[in-house]
Structure 1
Amino acid sequence: MRKRIFYLFCLLSGGIATGQELAVADRLPADGKEGRYVERAANQSLLYTGELEPRYLNRLEGHPYLDTKEYRTGTLAFDGVVYPAVAMRLNVRLDRLVVLSPDKRLHVLIPSERVGFASLPEYDLFYMEPMGEKSAFPKGFYARLHDGKYALWKRSSKMLERKVEGLTMTDRFVERTSFWVCKEGVYYPVSGKRSLLRLFKEHGAELKRYIKEQGLSFGDGRERSLVRVLEYCETLNLR
């Protein structure tokens, strides 16, 4: 049961949203990621107070979000407090997490540095600064696709690109994606079969055989194949 308290009261002024009290979660899980935060969120209005997401023209081709423009419901850790059942989407053009107000009227950008994690059905999102093999990479949101001994992280960004064909001009979102594997505390860039074999050269022959037997593709099915290979690598190190 949720407590019955005041409904969200939103004011729009100069692209800023402000909120009053919202429903409170009666109970939250005490284990896993949530266990590192307080058990009870006193008030959810803080999530819906801030800068509004800019609107995009309907004529633009594609969308500026990680994988879908639809909102997904998940758990959000914000300012050390866990909020359940929050509708979210990641705007990778702005590199900002967007939350949808309960009345579905406001699309609010929340401060990235105050996000502990966002747990969604397909992946977890973290705002962090991972260290690469030779250099530090910019702070930003990374999607953790696999959480194991060798974690797999995905970083996406989208830029607007103009395409001209004859008399037709189209503005579209173009995505740039990179993947990182955390091995022994160090983040290594991976792009496909060759970079994986180089990273796990001690198991090169076994990995080649496994990839061939499983018919893994690093084209359209790259994410799934990367996860499958990492899961297999983890079993090899247990032998």
Structure 2
Amino acid sequence: MKLLFFALLLFAVSFDGLAQTVQSASPTPQNQPSYPISLYRQATKTESHLLNGPEYVDYRKVNRVGHQFFLQDQKAPGSVLYDGSWYHDVPMLYDLVLDQVVIVSNGFLMQKLIQEKVDAFVLGKHLFVAVTAQDSASNSALPVGFYDVLHDGNTKLLAKRIKLRTFAIEEMKEVEHYDVEDKFFVKKGNGYHQVSGGKSVYKVFGDKKKELKKYARAQKLNFRKAREASLLALVLQYDALQK
């Protein structure tokens, strides 16, 4: 995906530009009176641009097991590439049931970001990139949505973070459950392939199947108990074998 390269590039450039802006805008006797005003204007401009989506309603029930969000159900500072610009230290959450990025303003107001304007975001040290309908058309195995970039080398490993919302009657009352159903995709060459365990990975990496099987045995990889870590280990090893 070309988007991934540009997202990372813009992310690095925006941090550098932010540092230069702060340094050049340091208060001096000449500009000190206007400095707070300029900061206020910039802050309100940024806030108003992000807060143009609809309200997000937290649909969780009182009786529940788990929640719909990625990592935690409390807001956390993140960064988002929105409508062509990076915004940092944004209080946000990521709803895995709806595949929806949510931001929090004024400490409590939850709003959706407009999906089509979100190209990438960073939350909890995870970089997510958007796959559009155009991207999906050229890679039939990769549905539209946000993908967690686990490895971005010659071979790429992406995770589609998913939670399923189900209901069950327990002790005469309805209980809401949120279950993790992550999917993983490997990019080799020009195409993406969904992988779930050793067999599917060996099929994609047929040219190094023997070496990877030997590595998996030596490292005691367990795809049932630690699927994500095991998949990542094989992808990293495959890239290492290509050098």
Task: Using the TM superposition, give the Cα deviation of residue 135 of structure 1 relative to its aligned residue in structure 2, in angstroms.
Answer: 2.7
Match of 1:193 in 2: 198
Q: Deviations over 1:23-60 (max 9, x none)?
A: xxxxxxxx834257694695321213321211222222
In the alignment, does 2:215 pair up with 1:213? no
Contact in 1 for aligned 2:212/2:234 (Cα 8 Å): yes
**Identical positions, percent:** 25
- What is the TM-score when the length of structure 2 is the normalising length? 0.76
Deviates more, 1:123-132 or 1:32-41: 32-41
Query: What are the within-5 Å matches in structure 2 for residues 4-83 of structure 1?
Result: 32-35=9-12, 39=17, 42=42, 43-45=45-47, 46-55=49-58, 56-83=60-87
The structure with the largest helix share of the pair is 2
In the alignment, does 2:130 pair up with 1:127? yes
Structure 2: gaps of 5 or more residues: 1-7, 22-41
Cα–Cα, structure 1 residues 229 and 33, in superposed 2: closer, same or farther, change >3 Å? farther
Contact in 2 for aligned 1:37/1:80 (Cα 8 Å): no
Question: What SS does structure 1 have at the residue aligned with 2:225?
Answer: coil
Task: Using the TM superposition, give the Cα deviation of residue 164 of structure 1 relative to its aligned residue in structure 2, in angstroms.
Answer: 2.7
In the alignment, does 2:64 pair up with 1:87? no
Structure 1: gaps of 5 or more residues: 1-30
Q: Deviations over 1:164-184 (max 9, x none)?
A: 346343221233221101111
Cα–Cα, structure 1 residues 139 and 133, in superposed 2: closer, same or farther, change >3 Å? closer
In the alignment, does 2:238 pair up with 1:233? yes
Task: Using the TM superposition, give the Cα deviation of residue 131 of structure 1 relative to its aligned residue in structure 2, in angstroms.
Answer: 4.1
Question: What SS does structure 2 have at the residue aligned with 1:44?
Answer: helix
Q: How many aligned positions are there?
A: 207
Q: Which amino acid in 2 is paired with 1:104?
A: G
Relative contact order (C-alpha < 8 Å, sep 6+): which is higher?
A: 2
Contact in 1 for aligned 2:136/2:143 (Cα 8 Å): no
Contact in 1 for aligned 2:168/2:176 (Cα 8 Å): yes
Match of 1:11 in 2: none
Match of 2:39 in 1: none
Q: Deviations over 1:187-222 (max 9, x none)?
A: 100001111111101111110111111121112311
Q: Tell me the C-alpha RMSD between the 2 structures.
A: 2.5
